Amino acid sequence: LAINAKRVSQIRSNLLWRRRLITAHRIITGGVPSVEEVRYPKVDTYADLPLASGYTGEIYVVLTATGVWGINRKRSGMWRSDGVNWNRLGVADADIVAIVQAGVKLNELQNPDGSIEFNQQEALQLAVEKLTSDPDTPVDGQIWLRTDL
């Protein structure tokens, strides 16, 4: 196999030129070269989504979350139709509950058997004890689990 030194030099030069161009693009734009952008249809709320049966495989963006946590919450984000229902893309809502406001109690959640996500927060104190009544003086920041409920 004969190697053409001139051709190898051209290829190296071409690759070096492309790498410099990409580097310059990153410096100017602050990112990588763009790829083709996909724009999904947007609706204000989950209730504004069309019937799932007519949009199998389609993805819509819901801009505003609505409802009450643990009861009928419909989160914002990307939703995909399976032909019967709209399913939120991302973390499964049935297994994870995000508590975003103060004063939400575990017994107010629809599915207390699911996990609780402390999104970028810290559980400072977590007490897990078998209790059949409320403690007389609970410590601030502690979560008590009752076994008789």
Strand, coil or helix: 43: strand
Query: How many domains does the structure of the chain reveal?
Result: 3
Looking at the fold, whether 29 and 43 belong to one and the same domain comes out as: no
The range of the structural domain enclosing residue 145 comes to 122-149
Looking at the fold, whether 46 and 110 belong to one and the same domain comes out as: yes
Looking at the fold, whether 109 and 127 belong to one and the same domain comes out as: no
Looking at the fold, whether 113 and 46 belong to one and the same domain comes out as: yes
- In DSSP terms, which residues pair with 78 in a beta bridge? 61
Looking at the fold, whether 71 and 43 belong to one and the same domain comes out as: yes
pTM tops 0.75: no
pLDDT tens per residue across all 149 residues of the chain = 456 666 666 666 666 656 655 555 555 555 554 544 557 889 999 999 999 999 988 888 888 888 877 677 888 888 889 899 998 886 544 444 444 445 554 444 555 555 555 555 555 555 556 666 776 776 666 666 666 66
